Amino acid sequence: MVKFDDFGPEKIFEVYDPVSKMKGFAVLDNTALGPGKGGIRMTATVDKEEVAKLARTMTIKNAMADLPFGGGKSGIIADPYKTDKKKKEEIIRAFSKAIKCICPSSYVAAPDVAMGVNEVKIFVKANSDKKAATGKPKSMGGIPHELGSTGYGVFVATIEAAKFMGLDLKKATFIVEGFGNVGWFAAKFLTEHGATLVGASDSKGSIYNPKGIDFKKLDAVKKKTRRVMDYNEGKIGKPETIRTCKADIFIPAGVAQDVVTEKNINKLKFKLIVCGANIPFTADIEKKLFKKKIVVVPDFVANAGGVISSYVEYIGGKEQDVFPLVQKKISKNTKLVLKRSKTKRMSPRKAGLEIATERIKKAMKKRK
């Protein structure tokens, strides 16, 4: 059962279409700051519990990013791998029409599992309001994922955290786990800023070289062979090997969770961890990292570039508006979180949750 508390969820909207056999739901966790913002996922196993948890995550992330969005999420129960293209489109259109009474007035959708730019295009067309979702094609006013707003936000968070610690980035080394969109852009911006990339991984393996890795060469290798370990100049290992290599900064940016556990926490050789990925380790592990004096910038602070980019799209902004807003908001919020963490002697995650909660409760009081 979905658990209710002071924040919500405010509404759980369940829908069914007897013609297409579409089954789905949207969870509005909290809309005190604005319409609930969050993606639509399509899987055979998605349920209300899963979507409710994700909607709460969006409530916190949007509040921490200081955006006029609440938290929401939705799910369509269908196997995208066993559903043909025509049927999938029929289901998406049926879902869009079914939740039109809350979208976009109370809920703004976005891409998620098995719901990419083409699926969002179908969803928005069926809704007939461009504000029904972000993540649209560029032809519909969308801002492309390839812009790298999430990775840029991770870079900005790293800059602010390094300043907070007195760490000179031009003399610092860093490792990226997950050399995909977020990790690639974070590595690009950091190397351009003067930091030295010494390790990277993908799903196939890892490469580590304490003397430094040429980003452009690594990029060329990855595009050619799809494996970072083919860079050759350095020590090759399994994907998880990179987690215990030595560097000043570690950026988990892949899909793997539990990248830091009880088994490897005492082997870490990092001063700073900036979370490009969602939930790369548990809150308990973050507390232990704090006790070990390893600074952690939490995921909902560091990787908010994507949702900030979504906001720019939502208000009809342009690509050139994205990076300045990402820089402004993530810089401000990273400093706020780390300052409160130091002042109150609590983990940055706890500090961030406090700040986000205060913003939500203030908005809830104004709404009464």
Pair type for strands 196-201 and 173-177: parallel
Tokens of 243: 């987690």
CA atoms 81, 98, 28, 302: torsion sign: positive
β-partners of residue 26 are: 13, 74
Give dist(CA 100, CA 93) in Å, integer.
11
Annotated active-site residue in 73, 131, 222, 350: 73
CA atoms 129, 130, 135, 136: torsion sign: positive
Q: Name every residue whose Cβ is closer than 8 Å to that of residue 93 and which is 6 or more positions away in sequence.
A: 20, 122, 123, 126
Torsion of CA 261, 265, 270, 273, to 10 degrees: 30
Select from 204, 281, 198, 295 the least CA-distant residue to 247.
Answer: 198
* Whether 64 contacts 84, CB under 8 Å: no
Q: Verify whether residue 73 is a known catalytic residue.
A: yes
The b/e string for 246-279 (b: 16+ C-beta within 10 A; e otherwise) is ebbbbbbbbebeebbeeeebeebebbbbbbbbee
Alpha helices in 166-267 (DSSP H): 181-193, 215-225
List residues with catalytic annotation.
73
